[in-house]
Structure 1
Amino acid sequence: MNSLSGTLIRRLPRFQRPCHLVRYVGTANEESDKKLNPRHFLLLLCPITAFSLGYWQIQRRRWKLDLIEKIEKIMPSPPIPLAEDVKASIDLPEFQPITVEGRFDHSREVIVGPRAIITDDIPTGAYGSAWGSRPSAEHHMKESNLSNFGAPAPNGYCVVTPFEIKDRPSVFILVNRGWVPTALRDPITRPDGQIQGTVKITGFIRYNEKPPPFTPDPKTMSNAGKDQEPHRQYFSREVIRISETLNTLPIFIDADYASTVKGGPIGGQTKVLLRNTHTEYIITWFSLGALTLGMWMYWLFF
């Protein structure tokens, strides 16, 4: 009996889970892995964000094209007089041609830069000049009687001077008279260019220029003339800041090249450069959205 029972014990099969239960449990586990959970929703944010940015770039492209169209129409238009109800540059479209009559207050002149002179080297297709072709830099220097200093300097400064409007006593605006080389940034070095009396100028309305990050604060130059207030240097066209310092209206005009006088700054320093790369961004963001969406669906269903 003992031997028989031992034989029976040795021959008893080990308990195994039925095959149909194994298949059922395995399928249940796989379905559990593919069931949506918070992690899936978190990863879905990637394609949603990419598609949203692509749509935003479509809106930006439409805005940029409208802006370019407006500038192309307004810059060649005839200049209009500066109306009395205009209290700031933003009351008019930027690059609106303007004509104004009055006198300069050279004692409060400031400089903005350093900046390179704008010449006919700027491509017309980049909206660098609405005036057509411009004389070369060497011609600029000769016409303004600055050829004594040799070839045009790669960098210089824009001269910004308060301008008192005729028949409106003590009402001043800001006029960018033009570019001078570094050697002539001090007004005492160019007395012939400091025109006196009533003059009529034409130019473009300009808006405030946001300084780039880490732009230094304006600084006072130590080489001011005897009757000159401390000469200040700004590093960008900060219309609001300059107007508050000089007690003028926040109206800024870029004088045209015709305003250039012998020995004075070289006018026509208006640069319009609008980059329209939104199409590339649209393709990039929608491609990234499609790629990440495909990866998400593959991970969820396969």
Structure 2
Amino acid sequence: MPATWAMQPMGGSEQGASAARLRWPWLAGAAVLFLALLALGTWQVQRLAWKHDLIARVDARIHAPPAAAPNQAQWPEVNQASHEYLRVHVTGRFLHEHEALVQATTALGAGFWVLTPLRTGEGRMVWINRGFVPPAARDPARRGLAPPEGDVSVTGLLRLSEPGGAFLRDNDPGADRWHSRDVAVLTQSRGLPPEEVAPYFIDQEAAPGQGPLVSAPQDAGPWPVAGLTVVRFSDNHLVYALTWYGLALGLLAALVYVWRGRHRVGAG
């Protein structure tokens, strides 16, 4: 009996050491996961600040007096951070023979954007999104208004090219079927010299005095209807940050619970 009693503490000590060795990798992994969740939450907080700054800058651009559209020397500098949604103006003549229709869904329903290149006084070209037309007005003769001829002045929002197409729908230049406003491919499909075409397009704004439209006009035109640009940014970063921080807090609470449970068992 005494010999048996003396061996029991030795076995319990070995089992405790073995359990401790098994616990440490799990604790280390949990600690790494906890730090990763904290890092993800902090990254989303930083993204939140960046997004709010972007929204403020874009809002200022939209409501600012129009600036001259970037000229050819400035084309390489055009980028999202400094030019997207910049209110600009340009003067020139529309090349209606090169018009393209790009599928669109707007407040007026499903239809098409009418994109037409404009040749400026400097001999360069920029694609203009002249506005929306319904399927029944695909044909210019059915738009209720003759297309503008001669020199025109266009004011609108500068937009960057949309290469590739839309979600699960690629542009098909061969069939003249467009799902996004891909300036480079549109230019190529119309046989225009790419070095003379701006790498952006302009969403023409509504005529002065025309309020925002929320439904299609009752009559058959006039089309196209400009000024339908939707400026909207997803802003879910706060939700994401709270989610990551919540998961980190939940993991920490679980670790504390398990740790305290083990100590209570050991004490008992």
Fold-level similarity (TM above 0.5) = yes
CA contact (8 A) 1:190 1:263 kept: yes
Residue 274 of structure 1 corresponds to 233
Larger strand percent: 2
Distance across 2 between alignment mates of 1:243 and 1:54: 43
TM-score by length of 1: 0.70
CA contact (8 A) 1:158 1:178 kept: yes
- Give the CA deviation at 1:165: 0.7
Unpaired stretches in structure 2, ≥5 consecutive residues: 211-220, 263-268
Residue 98 of structure 1 corresponds to 88
- Give the CA deviation at 1:241: 3.2
- Give the CA deviation at 1:212: 4.4
Letter aligned with residue 185 of structure 2: R
> Higher relative CO (CA 8 A, sep ≥ 6), structure 1 or 2?
1
Larger helix percent: 2
Structure 1 residue 285 corresponds to structure 2 residue 244: yes
TM-score by length of 2: 0.78
- Give the CA deviation at 1:219: 5.0
- Give the CA deviation at 1:16: 5.1
Letter aligned with residue 194 of structure 1: P
Residue 112 of structure 2 corresponds to 157
> Residue 51 of structure 1: which of 24, 29, 38 is its match?
38
CA contact (8 A) 2:166 2:179 kept: no
Residue 140 of structure 1 corresponds to none
CA contact (8 A) 1:34 1:300 kept: no
How many residues are treated as equivalent by the alignment? 240
Residues 93-126 of structure 1 deviation map (CA, whole Å, 9 limit, x = unaligned): 2111111100111111111213224xxxxxxxxx
Distance across 2 between alignment mates of 1:193 and 1:25: 97
Letter aligned with residue 18 of structure 2: S
Residues 260-293 of structure 1 deviation map (CA, whole Å, 9 limit, x = unaligned): 9x73311102110112221111111001012123
Distance across 2 between alignment mates of 1:66 and 1:234: 33
CA contact (8 A) 1:193 1:263 kept: no
* Partner secondary structure for residue 196 of structure 1: coil
Distance across 2 between alignment mates of 1:269 and 1:158: 10
Q: Higher mean Cα deviation, 269-278 or 21-30?
A: 21-30
Structure having the higher Rg: 1
Distance 1:39 1:239, change over 3 A: farther
Structure 1 residue 203 corresponds to structure 2 residue 156: yes
Q: Higher mean Cα deviation, 38-47 or 190-199?
A: 38-47
Distance 1:47 1:212, change over 3 A: farther
Structure 1 residue 64 corresponds to structure 2 residue 51: yes
Distance 1:102 1:161, change over 3 A: same
CA contact (8 A) 2:104 2:179 kept: yes
Letter aligned with residue 51 of structure 1: L
Distance across 2 between alignment mates of 1:205 and 1:155: 23
Residue 238 of structure 1 corresponds to 182
Residues 128-160 of structure 1 deviation map (CA, whole Å, 9 limit, x = unaligned): xxxxxxxxxxxxxxxxxxxxxxxx6x2111111
Letter aligned with residue 130 of structure 2: R
Residue 174 of structure 1 corresponds to 127
CA contact (8 A) 1:44 1:296 kept: no
Aligned residue runs from structure 1 range 204-223, under 5 A? 204-209=157-162, 211-218=165-172
